[in-house]
Structure 1
């Protein structure tokens, strides 16, 4: 009888623990692997292409690796910058000391400024950042070799090493850059900065202000300063405030004192933006919002709030303007501005993809927890979205995870077609960082016009490190880089 009970208990233990052990074993990632070996191929209803998923070589003569997808090596740089990265204790412009990372001895790093059409060259030197570093040009549709993702488009730049990024700044607007090696740690620690590209034709006479918001140990700063940033703006002047949200959640911004226009989102100008007032604008994590105001003729100051009582105060005679509470109304880009014709037809796509975000218990690289899922699968059992150059792509992004996710597609901008089945009726709303709230569904579309291997992930960066990452892969493109390996590549 005792033997029967023991046998029964043993069988029950095996029945319970056996599947768990199998799931644990199945979740373990190799020490070194290619992103092209992960997950499963999703062709979105289009042709399978000439190269197999899983990192196998394409048919002879058709393969290009990501290092070949680069700017003209013979063209001289118009804008040349050297950035030296260090791990160190530094002093913010506000005077507070902080242990983190710097570029050229400061955080945020230097603002990179270019004129449309110029070739930008940035030489990154790692003086003392352990574990390596990269620079990703967030929102800029750079050639794939310059995308700055460790283990995908390059190896992490180790201590004593350097890497040069080259790209033509053919998009005007507000962008930023940050590390994409251990990004959830290094971005929070200060490895970031702003990038602004102005039109070749000139933007006219106006006051132009970069307002990069970042939290250092929970302290909100604007361009590294705590409290208000004061900017000279004469009466009657037109001012553009370029709001950059480097944090992991939505940041509300609003203007007190005068009406304003939402001039641009994620580096793309809106069509026919009308003046509004007593209205907030939601800026997604990683997203950018350009607000334009006309200064009062009597010299009164104007405050642009960034996430709270502090912000940018524009003025001339005085900067004495008390903060106002956040307005109850929030501007909806789905209906704001004037419609305009698109250069492609999103109603006739070559590929249709689903990106369904959920959450469930399981193992991620052997660690038990409640993890994010994509189309029901835990990483690495997630889709690799395959496209051909020139494809019109339509993607349905839905979120049933219980938390909001700011979704960021590298190398492309997508136009929002609808939210929860309601069609967009305003200006074309182009995004590279889209806040998808829990329970929301967006339809977006884009043209696959930038060959490469591109991340499509949540820009709440800890979420990306917890499995909320997929990739867009072009036919015939390969990569020689691997996650892990001698370079210790850890993109998230």
Structure 2
């Protein structure tokens, strides 16, 4: 059940690849415990984990072609790491324990240093024990600015998240590994925040033009979003500009880890309110309020596309097709799957907390799903054979959605598949290394939906 405010109250690579040993420290980003007002003010602050002690973590903004350089220090009681989501990054900086780096133990630190080739909206988050650590707030925005940014009156980053709080205490429930969540839709919260706030508001002027950078940081929630008192266009998805901006005339989905850049014009009049709206089964409610004040200005018309990023040209002619089947979960339980090279029954897997599989493996397999040379083009067919949606995320690369007519759709790094749906994507393996490929419903990844591919 999703609580609104009223219901809640009623319910009561460093130098490419080498570590920076002995060199001057980068700006520090500390992962630590903190307290944050998530629930209404009638409740005490909620203990959270945050980068820099805030939720979201410190916003990082760099120019396109620049570098991100941060020493991540771990002041948490658990080991952690940082994945820089959506960046075509040096492999050693990708932040995946056991694949690209060791965990950052409590009291330890790791220096992240990498170039950012693509402008757009990205984010960073923990990639160790992610079901718990992301649910506790361990994430933040990463914005890469275009040399020629669009002309807007304000550029706002909006990180959407849902929290599962005890309605009596306002504290995060610690049932991160419960079998129902892992085997069903994932960990869904009962209160939604934007930028760590319940029902936030921003003052805007009549007819102002806003750039809204939406980031879905939730564990598993798929938002169905719309706008009220605003008109506008989606200009980028997962950080990558659309060739033709998409006018917003209806609701649109935003799956876990996905991003959408919008340029919107305020149409509400002075003293009125415009909103970003989330549509749930019981109707729509505002996520963010834009309180309008001031005299109107000249109404703008139309929008230009953002400048493209330096992505490879994709031709699917003769590109091999690889099929990845998503299997298991409640209502379509696994009959068997492999852990390593050992075949286990579905019951044995469930006892180990494994409910899902990718191509018959209920954990990241020893051999890569795809082993390719640098520069080769491949097609992947994701086939969702389960009763639940999944958000498949590819590290270190972007891919293009193959549309039903065979043409190439938008660039993405995370593709959302409904129950029983099959979708094809095409990519150029343009980034060498060992890369994770997994479901970004974080409980699904933790309980089996994890694979990888290698570019040599």
Q: Same fold (TM over 0.5)?
A: yes
SS at match of 2:131: helix
- Residue deviations 1:83-111, cap 9 Å, x none? 11113544449655213312222122111
Q: Does 1:83 align with 2:29?
A: yes
3-state DSSP of counterpart to 2:425: strand
Are the counterparts in 2 of residues 94 and 224 from structure 1 also a CA contact under 8 Å? no
Return the alpha-carbon distance in structure 2 between the equivalents of residues 390 and 424 of structure 1: 22
SS of residue matched to 1:464: helix
Structure index of larger Rg: 1
Instruction: Tell me the equivalent position of 2:402.
Output: 417
Q: Does 1:394 align with 2:379?
A: yes
Aligned length: 378
> What residue is the counterpart of 1:296 in the other structure?
267
8 Å Cα contact 1:253-1:280 kept in structure 2 = yes
The 3 A distance-change label for structure 1 pair 290 and 202 is closer
Give the match for residue 204 of structure 2.
233
Note the 1:108-147 alignment, pairs <5 A: 108-127=56-75, 129-147=76-94
Deviation per CA, 1:223-269, whole angstroms, max 9, x where unpaired? 01001x22233233221111111121311110012332111110011
Describe the superposition over 1:322-378 as per-residue Cα deviations: whole angstroms up to 9, x where unpaired.
xxxxxxxxxxxxxxxxxxx981212331x4311111111426678357721222343
Distance verdict in 2 for CA 1:71–1:198, change over 3 Å: farther
The question of whether the paired residues in 2 share the 8 Å contact of 1:84 and 1:124 is answered with yes
1:386–1:473: 8 Å Cα contact kept in structure 2? yes
- 1:367 is matched with 351
1:270 maps to what in 2?
242
Supply the distance in 1 between the matched residues of 2:252 and 2:210 (Cα, whole angstroms). Answer: 17
Whether the aligned pair in 2 keeps the contact of 1:364 and 1:371 (CA below 8 Å) is: no
Match of 1:286 in 2: 257
Q: Distance in 2 between matches of 1:98 and 1:204?
A: 38
Q: CA separation of 1:72/1:302 partners in 2, compared to 1, >3 Å: closer, same or farther?
A: farther
Judged with a 3 Å threshold, the aligned counterparts in structure 2 of structure 1 residues 67 and 284 are, in CA distance, closer, same or farther, namely: same
Q: Are 2:52 and 1:104 aligned?
A: yes
Using the alignment, how far apart are the partners of 2:35 and 2:269 within structure 1?
Answer: 44
User: Per-residue CA shift, 1:121-152, capped at 9, x if unaligned?
Assistant: 1110112x123111111111111111111111
Aligned counterpart, 1:337: none
Cα distance in 2 for partners of 1:67, 1:110 equals 21
Instruction: Output the CA distance in 2 between the equivalents of 1:161 and 1:304.
Output: 40
- Tell me if the contact between 1:117 and 1:200 (Cα under 8 Å) persists in the aligned partners: no
5 Å-filtered alignment, 1:185-224, equals: 185-217=132-164, 218-224=190-196
Preserved contact between residue 220 and residue 226 of structure 1 (Cα < 8 Å): yes
Residue 355 of structure 1 corresponds to which residue in structure 2? 324
Partner of 1:404: 389
Q: Distance in 2 between matches of 1:450 and 1:380?
A: 20
Number of the residue aligned with 1:345: 315
Q: CA deviation at 1:213?
A: 0.9
The separation in 1 between residues aligned to 2:382 and 2:418, in whole angstroms, is 11
Please report how far the alpha carbon of residue 444 of structure 1 lies from its aligned counterpart in structure 2 after TM superposition. 0.2
TM-score of the pair, normalised by structure 2: 0.76
Q: 1:132 to 1:295 in 2, by over 3 A?
A: same
For 2:347 and 2:88, how far apart are their aligned partners in 1? 34
Whole-angstrom distance in 2 between the partners of 1:67 and 1:121: 8
Structure 2's unaligned 5+ residue stretches are 1-12, 165-189, 295-310, 329-333, 336-345
Change (3 A) 1:165 1:365: farther
**Residues 305-316 of structure 1 aligned to structure 2 (within 5 Å):** 305-306=277-278, 308-316=284-292
The answer as to 2:407 corresponding to 1:437 is no
Q: Could you list the per-position Cα deviations for residues 268-302 of structure 1 after superposition, in whole angstroms to 9, with x for gaps in the alignment?
A: 1112224333x101001110111221123854542
Q: How does 1:303-342 map to 2 (within 5 A)?
A: 303-306=275-278, 308-317=284-293
Report the secondary structure of 1:174's partner residue: strand
Give the structure 2 partner of residue 57 of structure 1: none
Greater relative CO, 1 or 2 (CA 8 Å, sep 6+): 1
How far apart, in 2, do the equivalents of 1:253 and 1:242 lie?
13
Partner Cα separation in structure 2 for residue 382 and residue 150 of structure 1? 15
Q: Distance in 1 between matches of 2:253 and 2:269?
A: 30
CA 364–146 in structure 1, closer or farther in 2 if over 3 Å, else same: farther
For the 8 Å contact 1:383–1:470, the answer to whether it is kept is no
Q: Between 80-89 and 167-176, report the one with greater CA deviation.
A: 80-89
Shift of the alpha carbon at 1:431?
0.9
Q: Tell me the CA shift for residue 71 of structure 1.
A: 9.2
How many angstroms apart in 2 are the aligned matches of 1:363 and 1:119?
48
In structure 1, the partner of 2:102 is 155
Q: Deviations over 1:373-401 (max 9, x none)?
A: 22234335586121111110111111111
